[in-house]
Amino acid sequence: MNRRLLVALALLCTGLVVSCAAPVSILPAVPTTVPPSVPTAVPTSVPTAVPTAVPTSVPAAVPTDVPTPAALPPMIEPGDRIGDFLITKGEPGDVTFQWELDSTEGANASEYHADVDWGTKLNVSTGVYDESHSGKLDETWADFTFRLFIEERPVNLAAFGTIDTEHPVVGEMRAWNVVVVADKPGELEVHDLGQFAGKPLEESWTTFTFLPPVTADRVYQRPQTSEKAKLDYLLYLPEAYGKDPQEKWPLILYLHGLEAKGANLSSVAREVLPKRLKTEGDLPFIVVSPQGDGEYEFWSEDVMADSLMILLDEIQATYSIDPMRIYLTGADVGGNGTWEIGLRHPERFAALAPVTGYYDWNDPSAVPANICDLKDVPVWAFHGEDDTTIAVERQQVLVDALKACGGNAKFTVFPNYGNDIQIPTYGEPGLYDWLLAQSRR
């Protein structure tokens, strides 16, 4: 989950909310201090140290080194351009919000950096949310003040208006409708500051790097739709696929986390494994990443579970798949889905790799009655030691129970990590080497 979004969620019970019983809070924004380059006032008298000789074109009461309001940069209006970037408005469902990106902290406090895929319509504003749908979004918005600068030019927020949308994690949201579209790859700095209910929020400077487009001969993962399964999905074919028509390929079925649910495959593409596959053709698997939707633990719902099997059958009938080497993995809610789907269909998979997985959200110590159905399916589970969202004990009990059945299960716990272990799990070769060594008997 994006670090700045987690900051917002953490504000729920810190006094920056209308009610903790009906959470309405703010997505990360900032203090009311004004950047040094924007003067807040012009002196009305001349300090005694100012020389008496003043140019005749300048009033004697105004020092010549203090800029007048006319010297300030013009405000950004909809349709304006800053270099190769168009500053415009967006539509719900057609934009990516800045807090959805994976950002990294800069060398100094309150500095951040985020990469933006080519073609992204990026909303660079901060917003407020109403997780409980309590109808207090208007009230919360009235308590929120915000200033936005792009390349240190102030943005006329009133001219852009607002955009309301529904986020799968934080519920109803409202933000200023300020969207950046790049004509060419490049960097753009956004500076925001504001307050909520009179209290200053974190001031931040974020540098967005708009990445170059991916040329057609380098695209290995593409969006697809299965009419039979009624699922949209990303399909990755390795660079060498098809060169030997007789070769059968192992397949990974990847289940995304909670934030990627819905009807927009771009949110699935931002997860660590699909993001890697967009431009790298060296992973020796076919990878299918479907998009699910529904309430919590949606992968285990009957309709969704059945759709996944229909999709798997369709992929096997269409592509050159080795039926003995089909693997299931997923993170967060997808980790739950990996356990659930694996328990329903142990005969389909050569191995499972649940990342931050669990079984029953309402019962942290729950173990499924049929856990021993997986005793012949190798399992490598992953978790963060400091995970406060899905406690490590939730997955530990599953691994222990499987081992008690004589199952082949191992558990890797990353020290000093929380819920953010997708990079060390999917970004290193160890998991893939282990999967390739597993095959159904």
Alpha-carbon distance of 131 to 8, in angstroms, equals: 11
Collapsed DSSP state (helix, strand, coil) of residue 219: coil
Helix/strand/coil percentages in the chain, nearest 5: 25, 30, 45
Question: What pLDDT digit, counting tens, does each position of 245-275 carry?
Answer: 899 999 999 999 988 888 888 889 889 899 8
The more confident residue out of 51 and 148 is: 148
Helix or strand holding residue 314 (H, E): helix 302-318
154 assigned to some structural domain: yes
Number of domains present in the structure of the chain: 2
- 316-340: per-residue pLDDT in tens? 999 999 999 999 999 999 999 999 9
| 400 alpha carbon, distance to own chain's centre | 32
For residues 296 and 44, give the distance between their C-alpha atoms in angstroms, rounded to a whole number: 61
63 domain-assigned: no
Closest CA to 97 of 233, 190, 213, 11: 190
Residues 339 and 257 in one domain: yes
Same domain membership, residue 86 and residue 203: yes
**Same-domain check for residues 196 and 222:** no
* pLDDT 10s digits, 69-85: 456 789 999 999 999 99
> What are the CA-CA distances from residue 210 to residues 10, 155, 267, 391 (Å)?
29, 20, 17, 36
Q: Looking at 210, 228, 245, which one is the last position of a domain?
A: 210
Q: Which segments of 375-438 does DSSP mark as H helices, in order?
A: 392-404, 422-426, 430-436
**One-letter identity of residue 13:** C
DSSP state of 214: P
For 163, the domain range is 3-34+73-210
pTM: 0.63
**What confidence tier does 214 reach under pLDDT thresholds 50, 70, 90?**
low
Other C-beta atoms closer than 10 Å to the C-beta of 364 total 13
User: Under a CB-based contact definition with an 8 Å cutoff, are residues 227 and 318 in contact?
Assistant: no
| 3-state secondary structure at position 251 | strand
